[in-house]
Amino acid sequence: MKDLVGIKELSRHEIEEILNTAKAFKEVLQRDIKKVPTLRGKTAINLFFEPSTRTRTSFELAEKRLSLDVLNFSVSTSSVVKGETLYDTLKTIEAYNVDYIVMRHSSSGSARFVAEHTPASVINAGDGTNEHPTQALLDAFSIIEVKGRLDGLKIAIVGDINHSRVARSNLYLLSKFDTQINFVGPPTLLPLEAPDNVKIFYDLKEGIKNADVVMLLRVQLERQKGAYIPSLKEYSHVWGVKKEAFSYLKNDTIIMHPGPMNRGVEISTEIADSSRSIILKQVTNGIATRMAVIYLLTPKEA
Residues that bind ligand CP (CB under 6 A): 52-55, 126, 132, 135, 258-260
Please give the Cα distance from 292 to 287 (Å, whole number): 9
Catalytic residue (choose from 26, 104, 168, 209): 104
Count of helices and strands (H, E) across the chain: 10, 9
Which candidate, 245, 180, 172, places its Cα nearest to that of 212? 180
Catalytic residue (choose from 13, 31, 82, 225): 82
Q: Rounded to the nearest whole angstrom, what is the least distance from the CB of residue 41 to ligand CP in the complex?
A: 28
Catalytic, 112? Answer no
Catalytic residue (choose from 54, 147, 199, 242): 54
Beta-carbon count within 10 A of 42 CB:
18
Catalytic, 104? Answer yes
Q: Rounded to the nearest whole angstrom, what is the least distance from the CB of residue 55 to ligand CP in the complex?
A: 3
Q: Rounded to the nearest whole angstrom, what is the least distance from the CB of residue 260 to ligand CP in the complex?
A: 5
Catalytic residue (choose from 132, 209, 218, 276): 132
Catalytic, 105? Answer no
Question: Between 6 and 249, whose beta carbon lies closer to ligand CP?
Answer: 6
Catalytic, 218? Answer no
| CB within 8 Å of 21: residues ≥ 6 apart | 291, 292, 295, 296
Q: Rounded to the nearest whole angstrom, what is the least distance from the CB of residue 239 to ligand CP in the complex?
A: 19
Please give the Cα distance from 67 to 57 (Å, whole number): 15
Catalytic, 257? Answer no
**Is 48 strand, coil or helix?**
strand
Catalytic residues: 54-55, 82, 104, 132
